[in-house]
Amino acid sequence: MKVGILGSGDVAKALAGGFLKHGHEVALGTRAPAKLGDWAKQNPKIRVGTFAKAAKSAELVVLAVKGSGAANALRAAGATNLADKPVIDATNPIADAPPVNGVLQFFTGLDESLMERLQREFENVRFVKAFNSVGNAFMVNPRFAGGPPTMFICGNDDVAKQMVRGLLNQFGWETADMGKAEAARAIEPLCMLWCIPGLLRNEWVHAFKLLTKTVEKE
Ligand SMILES: NC(=O)c1ccc[n+]([C@@H]2O[C@H](COP(=O)([O-])OP(=O)(O)OC[C@H]3O[C@@H](n4cnc5c(N)ncnc54)[C@H](OP(=O)(O)O)[C@@H]3O)[C@@H](O)[C@H]2O)c1
């Protein structure tokens, strides 16, 4: 699959490596391609260009920019280049304010997520929330003593979610589909929870797993 990644930070780079590892074609977009010169040389199979270039030829787009810049990055990618495409939204609405006792501050409220805001502005984009609730070091085929962790996803388009479920399988994750875009109100704050042990005790090596009870036969 042709994957266009919007972003130049740790998440964009980690996911670019993951998609490449699993045989996909990767283009990465940033406002300033020149700053990735050295990284591009070390990763010659990944094309580095503008947000618009990365989105244009992509069959699947990954949004991996700072939460407050997400709408801006999508606008720069271009509504036509994104129209009807599945977009994995890995962003979190983290405010430019310090954590309080290890708890990150968000610029959204409990009854509105960043993904819903993006979905309202880009109506025909098929957003799927994923990858936002784990550190970038564990996004691609993580190994945990408790087995594969769970990625919580949501989005309005079932076909796009099915595609993302398949990719998460490749990336070594179980998937828990939490429903429509509104579920991002619950999934985005998982990032706060994930970061608390890190911010309080410098513990960053964990992931979430959803346990369900097996139904026993009578
Ligand atoms: N770090 C993690 O382990 C982790 C884990 C899960 C989820 N997340 C989420 O994933 C996203 C990316 O995180 P990150 O740590 O890789 O990078 P980041 O430092 O949060 O963001 C860097 C990216 O944001 C873009 N950006 C910043 N302001 C912008 C603006 N006004 N308009 C357009 N683009 C803008 C930058 O664009 P340029 O390339 O043009 O500079 C760059 O690509 C964040 O939303 C974060 O909350 C992070």
What pLDDT, on the 0 to 100 scale, is given for residue 33?
A: 96
Task: Determine the residue of 35, 63, 66 to mutate for testing ligand 1's pocket, defined as the one with the most ligand atoms within 8 A of the Cβ atom.
Answer: 66
Quick one: average pLDDT of 91-107?
Answer: 98
What pLDDT, on the 0 to 100 scale, is given for residue 214?
A: 87
Q: What is the pLDDT of residues 11-32, one digit of tens each?
A: 999 999 999 999 999 999 999 9
**How many Cα neighbours within 13 Å face the side chain of 160?**
25
The answer to whether the CB of 7 is under 6 A from ligand 1 is: yes
The answer to whether the CB of 66 is under 6 A from ligand 1 is: yes
Tokens read off for 87: 């977009």
DSSP conformation class of 137: G
Q: Look up the pTM and report it.
A: 0.98
Residues in Cβ contact with 16 at an 8 Å cutoff, skipping those fewer than 6 apart: 5, 26, 28, 43, 46
Which amino acid is residue 202, in one-letter code? N
Distance between CA atoms of residues 124 and 181, nearest Å: 13
What pLDDT, on the 0 to 100 scale, is given for residue 190?
A: 98
Residue 202, phi-psi category: left (phi > 0), alpha (psi -120 to 50), beta (remainder): left
What pLDDT, on the 0 to 100 scale, is given for residue 217?
A: 76
**Beta-ladder partners of 28:** 5, 48
Tokens read off for 71: 């709408």
Q: What is the pLDDT of residues 173-215, one digit of tens each?
A: 999 999 999 999 999 999 999 999 999 999 999 999 999 998 8
What pLDDT, on the 0 to 100 scale, is given for residue 216?
A: 79
Quick one: average pLDDT of 31-55?
Answer: 97
Within 46-202, where are the H helices? 51-56, 70-77, 79-82, 114-121, 158-170, 184-187, 190-201
Confidence of residue 69 (pLDDT cuts 50, 70, 90): very high
Q: Tell me the C-alpha to C-alpha distance, in Å, between residue 157 and each of 38, 84, 125, 163.
A: 38, 10, 9, 10
Q: What is the pLDDT of residues 105-159, one digit of tens each?
A: 999 999 999 999 999 999 999 999 999 999 999 999 999 999 999 999 999 999 9
